[in-house]
A and B are shown apart, each in its own frame.
Chain A
Amino acid sequence: MPPINGAFCVSLMKDQCINAKMPGKCATCVEVCPYDVYAIDDTGHVRVQNYNACVGCRICAEFCPEDAIRINPAESEFLVRSPWTFSQIEEIHHKAQTGDYMLRGFGTMGFAPTFDNITIVPSQIASPSPLDKYREECNLEVVIGEDTCENPVRLAYPLLFAAMSFGALSREARMALAIGAAQTGIMNNTGEGGLLKDESWLIKGYENEARTLKRWEPGGHLVVQWSTGRWGVSADYVRAGDAVEIKIGQGAKPGMGGHLLGAKVTEEIAAVRGLPVGSDALSPCRYYDVQDLEDMKHMVAFLRDVTDYKVPILFKLGPSRPYEDVRACVEAGADAISIDGLVGGTGCSPTVVTQGVGIPTVALIPPAVRALKDMGVHRKVKLFVLGGMRNGLDAYKAMAMGADGVGFGAAAEIAMGCRACMACHTGRCPYGITSQDPELRARLDPEVAGQRLANFIKATAEEIKILTMLSGHDDIGDLSNEDLRATEFNTAAITGLKLVGYERRLPWWENES
Chain B
Amino acid sequence: MSLVVDASGRNLRSVSTELKEAIAKEPVVIQGATHLHGLVAGFKDGEVTIQGNSGDYLGVLNDGATIRVTGNAGRYLADNMTRGTIIIEEDAGYGVGQYCYGGTILVHGNAGDFTAVMNKGATIIVEGNVGAEVATYMLAGDLIIVGDAGENLGNFLIRGNIYIGGNWASLGHNTLLEEMTQADLAKLRDHFDRLGIEADTKTFKKIVRLSEKPFYCAKKPVQIENSRTTGIPHNELKEALHATN
Expressed in whole angstroms, the minimum distance between the Cβ of A300 and any Cβ of chain B is: 9
Q: Which of B28-61 contact A (CB under 8 A)?
A: 37-38, 41-44, 56-57, 60-61
Given contacts A236-B63, A238-B42, A261-B221, contact A275 B228 (CB under 8 A): no
- What A residues does B37 contact at CB under 8 A? 298, 301-302
Once the chains bind, are A234 and B61 in contact (CB under 8 Å)? yes
- Chain B binding surface, main DSSP class: loop
Expressed in whole angstroms, the minimum distance between the Cβ of A310 and any Cβ of chain B is: 12
Given contacts A49-B233, A280-B213, A298-B57, contact A234 B63 (CB under 8 A): yes
Q: Does A487 contact B (CB under 8 A)?
A: no
Q: Which of B1-50 contact A (CB under 8 A)?
A: 12-13, 16, 20, 37-38, 41-44
Given contacts A234-B61, A275-B139, A288-B98, contact A100 B234 (CB under 8 A): no
Q: Which of A269-292 contact B (CB under 8 A)?
A: 274-276, 279-280, 282, 284, 288-289
Q: Which of B203-224 contact A (CB under 8 A)?
A: 212-213, 215, 217-224
Q: Does B72 contact A (CB under 8 A)?
A: no
Measured CA separation A261–B234 after assembly (Å): 30
Measured CA separation A297–B173 after assembly (Å): 33
When each residue 250-277 of chain A gets 1 if its CB lies under 8 Å from chain B and 0 otherwise, what string results?
0000000001011100000000001110
Measured CA separation A6–B136 after assembly (Å): 41
Once the chains bind, are A103 and B226 in contact (CB under 8 Å)? no
- What B residues does A426 contact at CB under 8 A? 222-224
Checking B82, B217, B226 against A235 with a beta-carbon cut-off of 8 angstroms, the contacting residue is B82
Q: Does A463 contact B (CB under 8 A)?
A: no
Residue of A at shortest CB range from B218?
A280
Binds A, one of B113-121, B124-132, B187-195: B113-121
Q: Does A324 contact B (CB under 8 A)?
A: no
Measured CA separation A280–B219 after assembly (Å): 11
Expressed in whole angstroms, the minimum distance between the Cβ of A278 and any Cβ of chain B is: 9
Q: How large is the interface on B (under 10, 10 to 19, 20 to 34, 35 or more residues)?
A: 35 or more
Q: Does A117 contact B (CB under 8 A)?
A: no
Checking A36, A233, A305, A350 against B80 with a beta-carbon cut-off of 8 angstroms, the contacting residue is A233
Once the chains bind, are B98 and A289 in contact (CB under 8 Å)? yes
Once the chains bind, are A301 and B12 in contact (CB under 8 Å)? yes
Q: Does B163 contact A (CB under 8 A)?
A: no
Expressed in whole angstroms, the minimum distance between the Cβ of B136 and any Cβ of chain A is: 8
Residue of B at shortest CB range from A35?
B224
Once the chains bind, are A103 and B57 in contact (CB under 8 Å)? no
Binds B, one of A19-27, A89-97, A153-161, A204-212: A89-97
- What B residues does A308 contact at CB under 8 A? 20
Once the chains bind, are B95 and A301 in contact (CB under 8 Å)? no
Once the chains bind, are A295 and B224 in contact (CB under 8 Å)? no
Measured CA separation A275–B222 after assembly (Å): 20
Binds B, one of A50-58, A326-334, A373-381: A50-58
- What A residues does B13 contact at CB under 8 A? 305, 309
- What B residues does A48 contact at CB under 8 A? 234
Residue of B at shortest CB range from A99?
B219
Q: Which of B111-162 contact A (CB under 8 A)?
A: 114, 117-118, 120-121, 136-137, 139-140, 158-159
Once the chains bind, are B41 and A306 in contact (CB under 8 Å)? yes
Q: Does B181 contact A (CB under 8 A)?
A: no
Residue of A at shortest CB range from B55?
A298
Once the chains bind, are B99 and A230 in contact (CB under 8 Å)? yes
Once the chains bind, are B213 and A234 in contact (CB under 8 Å)? no
Expressed in whole angstroms, the minimum distance between the Cβ of A271 and any Cβ of chain B is: 12
- What B residues does A53 contact at CB under 8 A? 224, 229
Checking B63, B114, B139, B228 against A52 with a beta-carbon cut-off of 8 angstroms, the contacting residue is B228
Once the chains bind, are B42 and A6 in contact (CB under 8 Å)? no
Once the chains bind, are B118 and A6 in contact (CB under 8 Å)? no
- What B residues does A259 contact at CB under 8 A? 217-218
When each residue 193-235 of chain A gets 1 if its CB lies under 8 Å from chain B and 0 otherwise, what string results?
0000000000000000000000000000000000001100111
- What A residues does B42 contact at CB under 8 A? 235, 238-239, 305-306
Once the chains bind, are B213 and A282 in contact (CB under 8 Å)? no
- What B residues does A238 contact at CB under 8 A? 42, 61
Measured CA separation A35–B223 after assembly (Å): 11
Once the chains bind, are A98 and B217 in contact (CB under 8 Å)? no
- What B residues does A481 contact at CB under 8 A? none
Residue of B63, B140, B219, B222 ringed by the most chain A CB atoms within 10 A: B222
Measured CA separation A230–B61 after assembly (Å): 11
Given contacts A5-B228, A94-B225, A103-B217, contact A279 B139 (CB under 8 A): yes
Once the chains bind, are B121 and A274 in contact (CB under 8 Å)? yes
Expressed in whole angstroms, the minimum distance between the Cβ of A55 and any Cβ of chain B is: 8
Expressed in whole angstroms, the minimum distance between the Cβ of B217 and any Cβ of chain A is: 7
Given contacts A49-B233, A298-B38, contact A348 B56 (CB under 8 A): no
Expressed in whole angstroms, the minimum distance between the Cβ of A192 and any Cβ of chain B is: 12
Measured CA separation A483–B79 after assembly (Å): 48
Given contacts A274-B121, A280-B158, A284-B137, contact A302 B228 (CB under 8 A): no
Q: Does B227 contact A (CB under 8 A)?
A: yes
Checking B57, B61, B118, B219 against A288 with a beta-carbon cut-off of 8 angstroms, the contacting residue is B118
Top 7 closest pairs, chain A to chain B, by CB = A302-B38, A235-B42, A52-B228, A306-B42, A298-B37, A49-B233, A234-B82
* 4 further interface pairs, Cβ-Cβ under 8 Å (given A276-B139, A280-B215, A288-B118): A233-B80, A282-B158, A302-B60, A306-B42
- Can you list 22 A-B pairs, Cβ within 8 angstroms, ordered by A? A5-B229, A50-B231, A51-B234, A55-B224, A97-B227, A100-B217, A229-B118, A230-B80, A230-B118, A234-B63, A262-B213, A262-B221, A274-B120, A275-B140, A279-B159, A280-B213, A282-B158, A284-B137, A288-B99, A299-B38, A302-B60, A427-B222
> Taking beta carbons and an 8 Å cutoff, which residues of B are in contact with A?
12-13, 16, 20, 37-38, 41-44, 56-57, 60-63, 75-76, 79-80, 82, 95, 98-99, 101, 114, 117-118, 120-121, 136-137, 139-140, 158-159, 212-213, 215, 217-229, 231, 233-235
